[in-house]
Amino acid sequence: MENLQKKYGFWTATAMVIGITIGSGVFFKADNVLKASGGSLPTALTAWLIGAAIMIVTAYVFSLIATRIERVNGVVDYFEQAYGPKAGYMVAWFMTFIYLTTLVAVLAWVSANYTVGLLGLESGVWPIAFIYMTGLFLLNYFSPILAGKWQVTSTVIKLIPLALVAVVGSIAGLKSGMTIQNFTQTAQTVATEGGGLAVATLATAFAYEGWIIATVINAELKDAKRTLPKALVTGTMAIAVIYMLYYLGISGVLTNEDVIKAGDAAPVQVISLIFNNLGGTLLTLFVIISCLGTLNGLIMGSARGMYSIASRGMGPRPEIFSKVNPRTNATTNSALIGYVISCIWLVVWYGNFHGWWGQFMDISELPIAFLYVIYISIYFWVMKTFTDLSPVNRFLCPFLAGCGSLYIIWGAVQKDMFIHFLLISALILAAGRALMNNSKRELTQDHSPN
């Protein structure tokens, strides 16, 4: 196996935690959370708080693990350490072929959606989504260092619209009394359509998800055993504060009814109402950059998916996918697989909007819930194995994180096409299991005396 260089530091890792997490969900899930909450702002804010608490305690538990294990792909390494090479391989397969690539497809679409709105186009979302996804895969293919710098830059830029909405909206809401009104009045148009607090929390899970992908560059971090834990805790706490202020900012300018009606355009409307249309246009540009930063972080992870599998000498043709480009230090063959699978999931996402499946298969949320099943298994391992930790760190924190995970999973079970997605995922994992066995036979033959 060829080794990756130690080329990233604390700021890149923290930028991945914040940059991948903040960037799309907070913009296009605000109305979804409010709808699931039955139009009630207090319920929606409770969902955001629960989601934040789950994220922070989960990241804290993973930070305890990160101080001990430093290999190629964080969560995969942890699961492998806990349950053996075969189990680690299956998690790597899930991350590569389901989790990372579904989110890449959704984020490409979200970025394109805002771009179409900015340009005033009536169509073109899907070609632009394909172009964005292809362009950022090429960036990671040819220059992973430049991709890392873009991650830091886009993270700084994406905080601008959030800060504007949070500060300006909150001040305006306090002056006009809009914030108090939204706390006391429920949006009547969705009073009977809410899915409950659990479904609302699941919707926030997409907005809070992504920090775990920072562990993918574990092997490329300088002093990873210190850098990664600091980045996880610092980044997730910052995200929680930013999100709550942002959501309060929106509620200071738009009524609950208006937020639901505006949908993904709610933050743009907030700035447009205060600064005029030019302000809204500039904000949309910042939102697009923000989404592309998140997309880049996800692609950084998916480009290393097959490398993570092949680095263990497992999966199809590990001698090919474990190769690292000597000039760019990029996992080029692995990136190609990530790109192809992301394109397939983009087609699945396209089918949702064109009635191909009969119902809406929400690949923006369901894979996240599946990941939390993996988390729960890791928490049991921490409780059993980390005997040198204090009772709080060894038992209480993993227990609380596990309860949060179960809550997210419960929300997912209530989603449309949950069973369908479960069956598709099972088939993909079964294919991975079959290829793992084939790989082992091939490796045995390659290393036989003959």
Q: Tell me if residue 388 falls in helix, strand or coil.
A: coil
Residue 110's alpha-carbon distances to 17, 132, 206, 223, 373, in angstroms, are 19, 10, 13, 35, 26
**Each residue of 216-230: pLDDT tens digit?**
665 666 766 677 778
And the tokens for 13?
Answer: 């890792």
Tell me, what's the pLDDT at 263? 74
Please report the pLDDT score of residue 449 as a whole number.
Answer: 29
| The pLDDT of residue 394 | 93
Residue 55 in tokens: 């994220």
Closest by CA position to 10, among listed 152, 109, 205 = 152
Q: What angle do CA 76, 78, 80 make, to 5 degrees?
A: 70
CB–CB of 79/87 below 8 Å?
yes
**Residues 321/307, Cβ–Cβ less than 8 Å:** yes
pLDDT digit string (tens) for the chain, length 450 residues: 455 566 667 777 777 777 767 766 777 777 888 888 888 888 888 999 998 999 889 888 888 887 777 665 568 888 888 999 899 899 999 999 999 999 999 999 989 988 998 888 888 999 999 999 999 888 877 776 776 676 667 767 777 777 888 888 888 888 888 888 888 877 665 544 445 788 888 888 878 877 776 666 656 667 666 777 788 888 888 888 888 888 888 888 888 888 888 777 777 777 777 666 666 677 778 778 878 877 887 888 888 889 888 877 888 888 888 888 777 777 888 989 999 999 999 999 999 999 999 999 999 889 988 888 999 999 999 999 999 989 999 999 999 999 989 988 988 888 889 999 999 999 999 999 998 854 443 433 333 323
pTM: 0.77
Q: What is the residue type of 200?
A: A
Report all structural domains of the chain as residue ranges with CATH numbers, in order of start: 10-440 (1.20.1740.10)
Predicted confidence at residue 260, as pLDDT, reads 82
Angle at 144 between CA 143 and CA 145, to 5 degrees: 90
301, 137 Cβ separation under 8 angstroms: no
In angstroms, the CA 174 to CA 130 distance is: 42
Other Cβ atoms within 10 Å of 321 Cβ, number: 22
End-to-end CA distance of the chain: 22
Contact 203, 44 (CB under 8 A): no
Side-chain-side CA neighbours of residue 160 (13 Å): 17
User: What would the pLDDT profile of 328-386 be if each residue is shown by its tens digit?
Assistant: 777 888 989 999 999 999 999 999 999 999 999 999 889 988 888 999 999 999 999 99
Q: Quickly count: other Cβ atoms within 10 Å of residue 51's Cβ.
A: 28
